[in-house]
Amino acid sequence: MFLKLKHIGVWLCLLTHCSIFTYGQQTKLKYLNPKLSIEVRVKDLVSRLTLSQKIKLLRYTGTPIDSAGIKVPAYNWWNECLHGVARAGKATVFPQTIGLAATWDKDLIYQVSSAISDEARAKFDSFSKNDKRGIYQGLNFWTPNINIFRDPRWGRGMETYGEDPYLTGTMASSFIRGIQGNNPKYYKAIATVKHFVVHSGPESTRHSFDAEVSDNDFYQTYTPAFKMCIQDANVYSVMCAYNSFRGQPCCGNSFLLSDLLRKQWGFKGFIVTDCGAVGDFYRPGTHETVSTPEEASAMAIKAGVDLECGGSFDALPIAIQKKLITPAELDVAVERLFTARFKLGFFDDPKSAPYLQLPYSVVESAGHKKLALQAAHKSIVLLKNQDNLLPLSKKVKTLAIIGPNADNAEVMLANYHGFPTHVVTPLEGLQRKLPNTSILYAKGCRYADEVPSLDVIPEKYFYTSAGSHEHGINARYYNNSNFEGKPTLTRIDKKVDFYWINELPGNSFDRDDFSAIWTGYIKPPISGKYNLGVSGYDQCQLFVNDSLLTSFKSEHEPDLKYKAIELKAGVAYKIEVKFASTKSAPLIKLKWELPNQDLQAEALGKCKNADAVIMCMGLSPQIEGEEMDLVVDGFYKGDRTKLKLPDSQLQLMKAVKALGKPIILVLINGSALAVNWESENIPAIVEAWYSGQEGGNAIADILTGDYIPAGRLPITFYKSEDQLPKFDNYDMKERTYRYFKGKPLYEFGYGLSYTTFKYSNIKTKAVNKVNTPVVVTAEIQNTGKYSGAEVAQLYVKNNSNPDEVWSLKGFKKLMLKKGEKKVVQFILKPGDFSIINPHGERVINPGDFTIYIGGKQPARLATNDETISKKITLTGVRSLLKL
């Protein structure tokens, strides 16, 4: 009986990452005593570790400990959940963060992140039961990205909550609360705000760039969201940025990490570096602040870093030997990391941890897919609706769906994504929504002229041998990721197009430890230059006639590698594809792009026979994103150099417009677009973002009126990049709606509905004392013919500050039935009226302010209308606030 109980204890121990704790038995080890405080338990555990063990524990890979009576399983700290549990196999994928920001719905964001953390816990428990403790299988997550999207050219802006500090901080705080949970003792998971702090491109220089900003911009734009997430949402982890700030690398900057974060703001959690950031301290061509890894590692620890993503901390023994750092300083970091693990419940009885009862069935459950659809609905922004072209009649007989984003499942997932069972594209969503409509589809064009558009090679072009008439390709599957031994399974596959999320090639396979080799022949249908390649996750090689054509090893995001190759019609070319899965999301596709295609002609032929045309255009994570290799017209290494759509797309839209058909433009992208011609010539425009696995259904619901659009822009849509300062200039002058004096194409906060709203009767005290709250109310009435949601936005203008145009200080999303009227109330905090003075102090000065409440930014509305704006005066003595 004792042995059975002991074995049960060990199993529970492995489940929760605990040490050698056996329940029901007394132990003399303090760190296993749940009656003691976490601080006492952590200090006891750390005191039992050797210096070598401590140093290894400061690496994100989390070396296991099994010595001197201590048994602590490995724990990999690198995990992602930007808009769903990422890179760890099956998960619900919600709209990309910029789309979530466009909902302006903080309650929805909390629901979404709560669902994400439910899936994270369920997946973690499943991984732990199988002793899987690798990358992307843990419970602390390096998200959310709350950098200010100050310039639409930044390729990673899609990962943020937009350009406004208040909107960003509010939405991110809701996200963090959902991830971390509300238990007073345990975290459901741990969120990480990144990248601290002045960081938003360019991607090509992020390892060497030095951000120099004024105190005003630093404290009014770049830091408020971080401060809100730390002090209001109690986020427990912070990631420092790659670039330097005022001459010191952010991950070695004691002012940022110790003085500001810990001393001024009271941050109690742990700090992790961005991956390889410490190496940027000394590598040639980067910051080169110091000369050696040991100097860099000591610099990071002394500045406040606790955990490194990278390999520079391997030099810490040398740093200690050279007395660049002391073992006691390492202890502080190790203790912070173990405190996080204790707060996740890893060392306690599972029965006492509230989040260990979540079944795996919660992962991509029906409820979560429904929530993904709801989030996608709320994220979509109606930009234009001339003559009420929308909603589209469901009785339309023939509809053309055109564009590179019309039927591309991968683009809907953006970056930093998980792997849903199925992704609904706009084409599929409209086919479901309009079963009695004849729908004609054509890709129409590439994303950009220089970027090939590859499709999976169909079965009819594969042959098992050079002279065979049997279609298909020979497959050998191995029960390891090294192609070792005899194949576990051999068969003939129709094509190489696999997305192993729910099922694997066989029941005995492990999704992060198997491999496959496909051999056969392809016979091209026409002669010419093909773009031939493979896409997938995570390791692949493609051979043609026994020569390596291309390969990839995707550590993080799914990859696509291709090369141009001349092929002759009807000739049998030997093909071999070698694929190895070492992650939890095996994915592999063999693709090509046929030569000499006239995509536009095909699309125009379809449009001529249609009653209306829906054009799904925009961008793709293939051309905008994090530190990419791509350099083509309009795009540079992940960032954009032009804000307009590529010429290939614009030419297609102009050609379709010339046909005289009603056109609805659906934009699918992660950053602002200068759609000037489109705005003048296309009657209806919808911004759908990268809307996740249910995006196609949401787009169909919006276009047909089954859901009334209510999204609002979290970023400014400029007319051109010429309206902006240089991309690498971090000064906020003429950036974002708060400081931009020009006329945008579509302003921050903008969004139309199928119904209309009227604001009136704004009320507040005309005279208020400095340092006291200000209560503001207004009436909102739905004056249209549909029930719908509205986003009431409150902006404040300091009439003595000519630099700042307006600043968002409150918003509320509310549903109003047709004809219904509601009163909305905001309470402005004293800090909402503060500025940063020339001495770098945050102060509230007596003076005059204007308060505005409306459904959009006041820049496009008269602000002297006292039904929607009020001038108030603050009286009294200047008040000094904390930074």
Cα separation, 209 vs 249, in Å, equals 9
Q: Which of 725, 714, 624, 618 is closest to 675 using CA atoms?
A: 618
Count CB atoms within 10 A of the CB of residue 73: 18
CA dihedral 516, 521, 524, 529 (to 10 degrees): 70
- Cβ within 8 Å of residue 590, ≥6 positions away: 456, 457, 495, 496, 497, 518, 534, 542, 575, 577
Tell me: cis bond preceding 426? Omega within 30 of 0 counts.
no
Q: How far apart are the first and last CA of the chain?
A: 61
Q: Which of 759, 756, 873, 733 is closest to 822 using CA atoms?
A: 759
Tell me how far CA of residue 762 lies from CA of 161, 392, 799, 816, 825, in angstroms.
28, 36, 19, 18, 10
Tell me how far CA of residue 643 lies from CA of 200, 450, 646, 673, in angstroms.
16, 17, 9, 5
Per DSSP bridges, beta strands 612-618 and 398-402 are parallel
Cα separation, 726 vs 733, in Å, equals 11
Per DSSP bridges, beta strands 847-854 and 788-798 are antiparallel
Cα separation, 340 vs 237, in Å, equals 9
Cα separation, 110 vs 116, in Å, equals 10
Helices (H), 234-278: 254
Cα separation, 431 vs 699, in Å, equals 12
Sheet holding 192-196, edge to edge: 192-196, 237-240, 270-273
Given 163, 364, 624, 626, which residue is catalytic?
624
At 657, is the secondary structure helix, strand, or coil? helix
| DSSP string computed for 719-778 | S-GGGS--TT----TT-HHHH--S--SB-TT--B-SS-EEEEEEE--SEEETTS-EEEEE
Is 274 an annotated catalytic residue?
yes
Structure-token pair, residue 555: 């550590």
Cα separation, 461 vs 524, in Å, equals 7
Contact between 157 and 397 under an 8 Å Cβ cutoff? The reply is: no
Contact between 244 and 290 under an 8 Å Cβ cutoff? The reply is: no
350: part of which helix (H) or strand (E)?
A: none
Given 274, 280, 512, 576, which residue is catalytic?
274
Per DSSP bridges, beta strands 514-522 and 462-463 are antiparallel
Residues serving a catalytic function are 274, 624
